[in-house]
Structure 1
């Protein structure tokens, strides 16, 4: 099953690349690696604001991370010239979770992204190294920000 068959089965339509909010580019390709800049969680086109452990629970954070994964896929598609089937492997995901000092479920929030990547690319290509950090704040008050590195053909 191709990546696009899986996306269709999941009911996912990929967005186009968003314009950067500051002085950076959405992705950089060097050799067979693509580095995607951090994407913040968005809901209805606006930052998905919240702080885990204060006004946002783990399940909601996981949904936000899944939404970021969809945005990341849109950017990755642009980075590989419009064909996600060129992705050989998701190499690394780094997640920044806007959370209180007491919140300790950053890894569960980040699963929202990791699980979707595995569904879309399959267990082999979608499995990746990962870091999940709790941070005091994310740009625009978003609850989660995630960046990604992929190996491509």
Structure 2
């Protein structure tokens, strides 16, 4: 599968990878695994999708879009590290964190925004194990933060 062709087919353009907010790398390879640091939702205009999901806060659709934007950031980080997204063999694991109000229990539906994007772009290689949890706070009040482990070809 030509991932760049698939991105064009879907009408998607990857953003510039986000700059780390601290003393860490966006991605780190170890053998045939690529570990992606937690990333957040950045709109095309450079603003963050911020706020809590749930009662009186961000709605489910906005939160799903935030997870989708985070998935685009993850793909951009993978491309920057690997040079070519066709080297991605498999998304092994996603860990999705949702900044949510007490009582919000639809965290899996939020993180589906990222999972659905990865499957649309990478096919079955984009489907892996996953956790989706609610958090009381996330850095910069972002709506979601997602990290990943990806298996890559040499």
The TM-score normalised by the length of structure 1 is 0.95
Equivalent in the alignment of 2:111: 110
Q: Show structure 1 runs of 4+ deviating over 6 A.
A: none
Q: Matches of residues 40-119 of structure 1 in structure 2 within 5 Å?
A: 40-43=40-43, 44-53=45-54, 54-80=56-82, 82-119=83-120
- Give secondary structure in 2 for the equivalent of 1:46: coil
The offset of 1:78, in angstroms, is 1.3
The range that moved more, 33-42 or 46-55, is: 46-55
Could you list the per-position Cα deviations for residues 20-76 of structure 1 after superposition, in whole angstroms to 9, with x for gaps in the alignment? 111211111000000010111122212211100131011110001000000100000
TM-score scaled by length of structure 2: 0.94
1:56 match: secondary structure: coil
- Which shifted more, 14-23 or 97-106? 14-23
| Consecutive unaligned residues in structure 2, runs of 5 or more | none
127-136 or 16-25, larger mean C-alpha shift: 16-25
Report what 1:131 is aligned to: 131
- Counterpart CA distance in 2 for 1:51 and 1:18 is 21
